[in-house]
Amino acid sequence: MFVSSGPEPIEPKSVPNVLLTNLEDAKKSIKNAGFEVGKVEYQNHASYPKGIVISQNPEKDTMAQPESKINLVVASGFKDFSLPVALPDTTATLDMSVYINGSLASQFNKNTFVPVETEILLLKEQKEQYQVLVKLRKHGTTEWLSYKQYVINSINQSVSEEQLMDDSVFADSLPVTTTTATPTTNTTETDFDF
């Protein structure tokens, strides 16, 4: 006569470390280690680019039963940010150029002057601080009306306007790609989304 002692006990396994990897690689690592991907949540984060795992539960190197679920929190990219730029009180048509950390943001939304590439530039560079330089000139001329420099801290979302030390950084020899604006006779504000 044989008496069953029940199923063999399943040994717990070490949970893999998937922090700071992209979501697809994290999923592969979890499955290869014998676990399942649980709930995936997305969260804005100032320090991590979009798609990077910033938290896992259970934590890395803890022991868990095979096939148990590992929940992940993934960075959804930097929080949206608006920078208001005052336009001068003029009836003239204006050209606007916006530089981010020295690079010209060249694609604009025609209606709202939102630099389409700005968010991409910020995410790729992953910097804590950004310099935004804004140039305005009368359309069809080389006469620059104003220069503004802003410093944006991407962690606490603060903005400061700085005095330009040297306007030569905006020399006309730089490649200029602009959007054209026709403001009303009242001072207007244009929001740049970051």
Of 3.30.10.20, 3.60.10.10, 3.30.420.10, 3.40.228.10, the CATH number of 13-75 is 3.30.10.20
Cα–Cα distance measured from residue 84 to residue 97, given in angstroms and rounded to the nearest whole number: 14
pLDDT at residue number 105: 62
Output the pLDDT for position 183. 36
Q: Where are the domains of the chain?
A: 13-75, 82-193
Question: Which tokens sit at 111?
Answer: 């209606």
pTM for the full predicted model: 0.46
Q: Please write the tens of the pLDDT for every residue from 109-137.
A: 333 344 433 443 444 455 666 677 777 77
Span 86-96, pLDDT tens digits: 666 666 666 77
CB 149 within 8 A of CB 162: yes
* Number of alpha carbons in the 13 Å side-chain half-sphere of residue 179: 21
